[in-house]
A and B are shown apart, each in its own frame.
Chain A
Amino acid sequence: MIDFIMQPWPWWFSGILIGLTVPLLFLLAGKAFGISTSFQEIGAMCAPGKFEYLKNFQWRSGIWTVVFALGIMLGSFIAAGFLSSAPVEFLPASFVSVGGAVRLFIGGVLIGFGTRYAGGCTSGHAITGISNLNWPSLVATIFFFVGGLAVTWGLGHWIFAGISP
């Protein structure tokens, strides 16, 4: 049992737990599982009134998205620090460089812009949206993969030079 927890979890176990996050968050807090709205929340808290997109956002009720994000940080800290028998390699070591920082920042801009433009990310669209039979979420998820595959197979040699082992 302890051994099972300390090893990386098998896909079926992780998949079940990720799936259960949707009903549990609804039942315990009345919230639709999603993470990228937290970016908008942070924007609305930091620069209210600058843009209509942030001015119209109900940041008080939306504060839960940031609480959820803080919970994820804490949970990951616990998982990596106390529930893993071997260190978890999040990013390849080659990312710890100026080039890596630039890549991560640019990729981050694409994530922030893209998820807000699409209205959701892997959690809000792919998991919560599709499981609630919301067809635009299926379209969104298909295009997440269109973008990811295009970059990996099209520009991969240039972007990932020196990263992929």
Chain B
Amino acid sequence: MNESTENTETQKASEPKADRFPSILTIAMVLLMGVLFGIVLTKSEVVRWQRVHDMFLFKEPFMYLIISTGIVVAAVSMLVIKKLGLKTIQGAAIKYEAKPFHKGVVIGGTIFGAGWAITGACPGPIYAQIGAGAWMALFTFAGAIAGMFLYAWLKPNLPH
């Protein structure tokens, strides 16, 4: 369990450990959380192009309120987890693997923001739009995969 909590979010596995499939329980819990999160994304309307567009136009505070509420609730929850020393249901320690700073955080972040504004979707909503049958989002998804391959190809030449 411990090895699967690490290396998942990091760009490069600094100290490689055995790459194992997660347990069935973990997969089931991830699927459950994915379904719940997909319901929230759609019911909250953050998956709507118009909501994202109005956010960038400062037309309504809706998206800003949702994102900041989410951050505050998550931050308080993480404090509670740390204070009480809570573990996962499989008994493993809970540890946030810090994402490092490099030039890509600024350059890549700006590029992603541009894509977010054009498509009205960040990665989660792309999946939500497809799942709900907004089939044009398949173009967004195809683009995202192409963009990922573009990064994989150019990575050795990009400033980090």
Contact = CB atoms under 8 A, between A and B. Distances in A.
Interface string B1-31: 1011101110111001001111000110111
Given A28-B89, A80-B132, A63 B35 contact: no
Contact residues on A (Cβ < 8 Å of other chain), bracket: 35 or more
Contacts of B32: 28, 71
B67 A127 contact: yes
A127 B34 CA distance: 16
Contact residues on B (Cβ < 8 Å of other chain), bracket: 35 or more
Contact of B94 (A30, A78, A126): A30
A9 B109 CA distance: 29
Nearest to B143: A108
A27 B151 contact: no
Given A14-B43, A30-B92, A37-B8, A71 B30 contact: yes
B112 A68 contact: no
A43 B67 contact: no
Interface string A98-116: 0011011111111111111
A139 B101 contact: yes
A49 to B, nearest CB: 11
Contacts of A116: 108, 147-148, 151-152
A152 B13 CA distance: 36
B123 A35 contact: yes
A96 B134 CA distance: 10
| B interface majority secondary structure | helix
A75 B57 contact: no
Nearest to A147: B113
A73 B73 contact: no
Contacts of A80: 42, 132-133
Contact of A147 (B36, B73, B112, B144): B112
Given A15-B69, A43-B152, A123-B124, A27 B94 contact: yes
B116 to A, nearest CB: 5
B155 interface: yes
Interface string B33-59: 111111111111111111011001100
Interface of B: 1, 3-5, 7-9, 11-13, 16, 19-22, 26-27, 29-50, 52-53, 56-57, 62, 65-75, 77-78, 80-81, 86, 88-90, 92, 94, 96-102, 104-124, 126-134, 136-137, 139-153, 155-156, 158
9 contacts: A18-B73, A40-B148, A67-B27, A88-B42, A91-B129, A114-B109, A115-B144, A116-B147, A144-B112
